[in-house]
Structure formats: C-alpha cells, structure tokens
Amino acid sequence: MGVLGVDCAMMGVMPATRKKTVTPGATPRDARNLLRSGEGARALQMLGDRWCLLILRDAFLGARRFEDFRRLTGAARGTLTQRLNLLVQQGVLYRNPYGRSPGRLEYRLTDKGMGFYPVALALWSWESRWAGEFGLPPALIHKRCGHAMQPEATCGHCARPIQPVEVLFEPGPGAKTTRATPVGDERRRRTSHGPHAAGVDTTMFHSIDTIGDRWSVLLLAALFFGLHRYDDIFAAMGIATNILSDRLQRFLSVGVIERKLYSTRPPRYEYRLTAKGWDLYPFAITLQDWGTTWLPAPNGPAIRLFHKPCHHALRVRMACNVCHEPIDPHEVGVQASRGWRATRRLTRPAAPAARKKAQAVRRKA
C-alpha cells in the first residue's frame, strides 16, 4: 500500500535545503504506483490476512503450540497449517522442538515477527477505542510506569506524536520497479457476529474484520492518499468493481468512512474518512514502517516519508501515552477479566506434569 501520506489538500512541500521534491498531490496514477509497490504493499502481501493477524495476536500473547493457535483463532486445521507454514517461510515465525518425543514443534516469533509488535499495538489501541459493542480488549499496562496506557505512534527522531497532516511522502527509487500486486483469491472474510467454537478469543475481531484482508487495507491507503471519489479510487486500486463496492460498503457500515454529497445535478457522493477511520493511521504507518525495515526492495524504497516538524525521515516508535517512554514488548502486561484469562489458558506439555505427579507419589511413599 504506499500509504500514509496525507490528504492532498493538506500536503506541503519539503524545505528547499533538503533538495527533496515532494509529490505535490497524489493523482490516481501516482497513488496506483505507490499503492502497489510500496513497502506496506509488500507487508500486506504477506500479512494482510485475517488468520495471519490472529496468529500473530496470539503469538504476542504467548501462544506457541498448534492446538492453542487452533482453539484461540478458531481456524480450521488446514487453514492454520497453511498460514503457519507461510509465516515460517516468510521468516516471521520459526519452529522450535519441545518435549522429549521427536517431531514435536512449537512456533516462536523471530526478530522479524517481534518487529510486527508496533502494528499489533496500534490495532489493539484502535480496538480499545472503537470496538464498543463488539467487546473491548483488556487494558494494556506499561510495567515501566505502572499505568494503563494507550500506545501512541510517535516520531523516532523527535518523539512527537505523529499527526497525519505532518507526514510528507515522496516516491523513492523503487516506486515504479517493484511490484507487489495483491494475490487473486480475496473472498469476503467472515464477520465476527456468528457463533464461535468454545475457547476462541474474539479480542480484536472488530479491527481484524474491518481491515483483515489486503483489499481493505489498500482501500484505506487510497483514502489516506487523499482519494475520495469512486472513479479515482477504482483507477488507483485497479480491482473488480464488486470487490471495491463490497469494501466501501463494509467501511460505511462500521463507520470508518462516510458519504458526502459533492454535486447535486446529478447527485454524486465522495467517501471521507471519519474520526474512526483517521484513527487507523497509526496502524497503516506502523505497517509501512515494518515493511521498510523487514522487506527492503533491491532498488531502494518505493516511498519515503518525512516528518514535517523535525524534517527527518520518518521512522515510527510506539510510546506509552502516560510516561512517553518507548514501549518494549517485555514491559507490557494486560489487565483482564478472569473470563478472558481462562480463554487464554495455554496447553502445557503433558510430560513434565506427569513427571511431577510421579515424583510427588514417590515422595509420599
């Protein structure tokens, strides 16, 4: 997705001293190149999928075993196997032997997988503000300061919270040469309203149902690039009309966008992000940042972002909104209900438990 620029009308120009030419405004054609070749597009190619996002959510919450992932995500065995294989192939997870019997493997996060943590934080944060009737996720506790926190996307250089209007973008050398076209099979994802099997953790279903497929995130990126009219979005995304209509409908129904009349004869509407939609910006920009770090293109980045207040290339750092310190994944806890904790209870290897029992029996004897 190239993402993360700003509404064209709000775009400024970089100071002349930097000798950077910043795109004065994304035309549908510019946007098309950026949407399809950007670092975010490559990230989406890999992870813009409901099941991959749920697997990562659970990996960050401590799940490692196949059966735990299956129960917590509610994925069918075949689907789960396929996604775990994909995440291993892409270097996001690795297989680690455990227990005594050979062939027992658990799934752990690599550094590349841990690098996705800011994206997960951004989604968690959005969910906690907007999931409402769908059930809010447990609060996050920043152990360093001891407070319940909302993670904030801040500039890695000047530490100010990132505002969409303060982010500038320009196409990089990889803009026209790298291609990350979304794959074809993009069936409508399930919604979260059906019954779930016992043990499924529905935390973050609202965000994952909203953006958990590649087309939805590309649509979001097109809106962040300042495209509002159906024809412009259609030209930039280059997807089937039924898919685009479906995703627009979905965004309207969850309140991420609204329709505004811009011409009366004949009546024509454009799509504008609501506050709830703009609040997905940290998600989009952390995804872009992850792609920049972990999926570098051979000919250089497809898109470069700059932070207007400090004039530096923008790198994102998630920070605690109470103490403003950067968030280390090991310093984050959850404050959750007993019910939620019960859902999250993970399987333990049978062998050590059986061994302990046997030892206890021996001691009594």
Residues lying near Zn ion in the complex (CB under 5 A): 142, 145, 155, 157-158, 307, 310, 320, 322-323
Rounded CA-CA distance 13/20 in Å is 9
Contact 211, 250 (CB under 8 A): no
Q: Which is nearer to Zn ion, 280 or 318 (CB)?
A: 318
Report in angstroms how near the CB of residue 3 gets to Zn ion at its nearest. 17
Q: Which is nearer to Zn ion, 252 or 310 (CB)?
A: 310
Rounded CA-CA distance 199/68 in Å is 9
Q: Which is nearer to Zn ion, 84 or 320 (CB)?
A: 320
- Per-residue DSSP letter, 27: -
Contact 281, 224 (CB under 8 A): yes
Own/partner contacts of 182-187, CB < 8 Å, gap of 24 or more, are: 182/41, 182/44, 182/45, 182/48, 182/214, 182/215, 182/218, 183/45, 183/214, 186/213, 186/214, 186/215, 186/243
Report in angstroms how near the CB of residue 328 gets to Zn ion at its nearest. 11
Distance of CA 138 to CAs 73, 195, 204, 338, Å?
17, 21, 10, 11
Report in angstroms how near the CB of residue 39 gets to Zn ion at its nearest. 19
Report in angstroms how near the CB of residue 139 gets to Zn ion at its nearest. 13
Rounded CA-CA distance 195/326 in Å is 38
Q: Which is nearer to Zn ion, 143 or 355 (CB)?
A: 143
Q: Residues 94-105, buried b or exposed e (16+ Cβ, 10 A)? A: eeeeeeeeeeeb
Report in angstroms how near the CB of residue 153 gets to Zn ion at its nearest. 11
Task: List, in sequence order, every residue forming a beta bridge with 261; answer none if it has no partner.
Answer: 269
Secondary structure element (H or E) that encloses residue 342, with its range: helix 338-343
Q: Is the dihedral of CA 321, 308, 273, 220 positive or negative?
A: negative
Report in angstroms how near the CB of residue 319 gets to Zn ion at its nearest. 8
Rounded CA-CA distance 76/363 in Å is 43
Q: Which is nearer to Zn ion, 158 or 354 (CB)?
A: 158
Rounded CA-CA distance 101/154 in Å is 46
Phi, psi of 232 (to 5 degrees): -65, -45
Report in angstroms how near the CB of residue 152 gets to Zn ion at its nearest. 10
Q: Which is nearer to Zn ion, 160 or 229 (CB)?
A: 160
Rounded CA-CA distance 161/180 in Å is 30
Contact 128, 150 (CB under 8 A): yes
Q: Which is nearer to Zn ion, 200 or 310 (CB)?
A: 310
Report in angstroms how near the CB of residue 157 gets to Zn ion at its nearest. 4
Q: Which is nearer to Zn ion, 108 or 157 (CB)?
A: 157
Report in angstroms how near the CB of residue 204 gets to Zn ion at its nearest. 22
Q: Which is nearer to Zn ion, 158 or 353 (CB)?
A: 158
